[in-house]
Structure 1
Amino acid sequence: MNTIDQAKQHVRDQVWRRLVESGAAPPDSYGKIPGFAGTAATAELLSQTSEWQQATTVKANPDWAQLPVRVRALADGKLLYMAVPRMASLKPFFLLDPRTLTLPPEEAADKRAARDHARRVGVEDMTPIDLVICGSVAVNRSGARIGKGAGYSDIEVALLIEAGLVTEKTVIVAPVHQLQVVEEDIPETPHDFSVDLIVTPDEVIRCPERRRPSGILWDDLTAEKIAGIPVLAARVGR
């Protein structure tokens, strides 16, 4: 683990401990995108923003913490792409179209229901995305974020940027608990992206500085990581 990775892990450990000790997240939140208290209120506050109201297509992570946001997207008639957990498919996104759903939004937005009922799609089958909802462990007001350390969100966003589906018009959102908004600097590397909007149960924070990679930074990926993500392994094998 290099110095930047160690610094990120220190921030994660602090935030997980703060959430658990305050009762704002379950005791088993360590090592995860935490399912925090107030997720429904966060989704409601996000739905009141102009960014949400103007969006027609949303991409979200599959974590439990963002389930209310995914439900709200479908209930509001938005096309929803949900990442396949760990990108474990050549077609690494589930397509949830509210016009053709056979389940209510509360069921369809669950990752288990998506696995059983939703169609899997690759980037070549997708339309441009207005909002990206990213699970985060910690964020700061400049828009720097840290996930749980697996790197899947970074790869998903980079893949979508390369495909022209995440553009300068796309807004990246981190729905989090207030305790996940830290005041200290968060170290960043070239493959990290910043968020444009942080939404907590009580506050909307618009971040001033946008930072995004131009696409997949292959030199930052280990051979093991590439081999474990079918869509990347296929590209290397061409």
Structure 2
Amino acid sequence: MEPRAGVSKQDVRGQVWDCMEARNVADFPRPVHHRIPNFKAFKMARTIKVTPDAPQKMARTIKVTPDAPQKNARFLVLSSKKTLLVPTPRLRTGLFNKITPPPGATKDILRKCATSQGVRNYSTPVGLDSRVLVDLVVVGSVAVSEQGWRIGKGEGYADLEYAMMVSMGAVSQGTPVVTIVHDCQVVDIPETLLEEHDLTVDYILTPTRVITTGCERPKPTGIVWSKISCEMMGKMPVLRSLRCREERAGKDVTLRDTHRSPPGARAALSSVRSPRALPSLESGSVQREDVPSCAVYVGNLPRDARVSELKRALSARGAAPSRLTWQGPQRRAFLHYRDPAEARQAVSRLQGFCLGANTAKVALARQQGASGPAGGRAGEPHPDP
């Protein structure tokens, strides 16, 4: 199937989805639109196992996506007594889960372990510090070309998972990437549709063929933070941790919408202070009434921190303020207590306080004007004597 002139990724997806439905080659769940298509894959699974060129033969640790078409691949990894890693759904609770079947598991149990329910019941999380090395990556696709260009369903999880593995040192440019598709999913894709974050593949496995793509286009070398939104950061704690690591390493971790207020930001601000009492976020100045002697400054907050996260963390430390002034863009907040004694107690309880991967700067704040006493910079804390 050849794409027409001016084709987009979504056009290619639509052509493949329509073709699979028209030819009735799709398996449950249907319709296949907006999914990684499932299909009868038993013959294909046998091909993976016996083909000498298949990279699975030498691999010991294999990452396989949790999509339905890869169920048989997951089963083969387990039945070959290799280590199976499966990404957590939508990366909301981490990056990997290691599937560990019960001792003496039969083939029937291994097949259950390879299902989405089995992944939930027989898995343990693999942390960022695990130093895991992945020998083979298996991904699903909506469409793929014989040159190795790949198009997913449009949410970008496979690309992001790979980029995160690069960031944590789990894969390199030499780690082979395999995709498992039906023959009708192998189509012509213009290379012009590929972007820097798009993952390419080295092998394509179909029910009838094993295609070695010989793709020489470099794979992603890490997370492209300018493609990541604040909303994604809010949903993926593991992504926030990786961003803090890379920021400490001096990398540019500017997000796609860093300079725009995230959804709900204005509502969050208005919920913690009245508009008249809010400090000026544009100038960074803090009015005298905003930093009384019973206020506590908390700085060095994560760039993606949310006021709700800070409130929960303060409550857990027994330092919940009576009022909170949130200055997320400046990565700081002012905690207002009923009297100076309560503020001092909060500072004591917040020693070593961390939010995300950041250790916060905590100090008593006192009244200051726009320029601050002793030439201090506006909005910075001045510890009380």
- TM-score with structure 2 setting the length: 0.57
Aligned residue among 89, 95, 99 for 2:98 = 95
Q: Is the 8 Å Cα contact of residues 61 and 135 (structure 2) preserved in structure 1?
A: yes
Taking the aligned partners of 1:235 and 1:77, their CA distance within structure 2 comes to 31
Q: Residue by residue, what CA displacement relative to the aligned partner does 1:185-206 show, whole Å, maximum 9, x if unpaired?
A: 2511000110000010000111
1:220, CA displacement in angstroms? 1.1
Give the structure 2 partner of residue 23 of structure 1. Answer: 24
Q: Residue by residue, what CA displacement relative to the aligned partner does 1:127-161 show, whole Å, maximum 9, x if unpaired?
A: 21111000100000110101111111111100111
Taking the aligned partners of 1:23 and 1:126, their CA distance within structure 2 comes to 44
Give the structure 2 partner of residue 194 of structure 1. Answer: 200
Q: Is the 8 Å Cα contact of residues 196 and 208 (structure 1) preserved in structure 2?
A: yes
1:229, CA displacement in angstroms? 1.7
Q: Is the 8 Å Cα contact of residues 132 and 170 (structure 1) preserved in structure 2?
A: yes
May I ask how many residue pairs the two structures share in their alignment?
231
1:126, CA displacement in angstroms? 4.9
Structure number, greater radius of gyration = 2
Give the structure 1 partner of residue 162 of structure 2. Answer: 157
1:183, CA displacement in angstroms? 2.0
Give the structure 1 partner of residue 36 of structure 2. Answer: 33
Unaligned runs of 5+ in 2: 1-6, 244-301, 303-356, 358-385
1:1-238 → structure 2 map (5 Å cutoff): 7-26=8-27, 27-37=30-40, 39-49=41-51, 50=53, 51-89=55-93, 91-97=94-100, 104-186=109-191, 187-210=193-216, 211-236=218-243, 237=302, 238=357
* Amino acid in structure 1 at the alignment position of 2:162: V
Q: State the 4+ residue runs in structure 1 displaced beyond 6 angstroms.
A: none
Unaligned runs of 5+ in 1: 1-5
Superposed CA RMSD in Å reads: 1.8
CA separation of 1:199 and 1:207: change in aligned 2, threshold 3 A: same
More helix as a share of residues? 1
3-state SS, counterpart of residue 124 of structure 1: coil
Q: Is the 8 Å Cα contact of residues 101 and 113 (structure 2) preserved in structure 1?
A: no
Q: Residue by residue, what CA displacement relative to the aligned partner does 1:35-73 show, whole Å, maximum 9, x if unpaired?
A: 123x12222212223411111110010011100000011
* Amino acid in structure 1 at the alignment position of 2:38: G
Percent pairwise identity: 33
Higher relative contact order (CA 8 A, sep 6+): 1
Q: Which moved more, 1:124-133 or 1:66-75?
A: 124-133
Q: Which moved more, 1:227-236 or 1:60-69?
A: 227-236
- TM-score with structure 1 setting the length: 0.90
* Amino acid in structure 2 at the alignment position of 1:14: Q
* Amino acid in structure 2 at the alignment position of 1:220: K
1:225, CA displacement in angstroms? 1.8
Q: Which moved more, 1:132-141 or 1:113-122?
A: 113-122
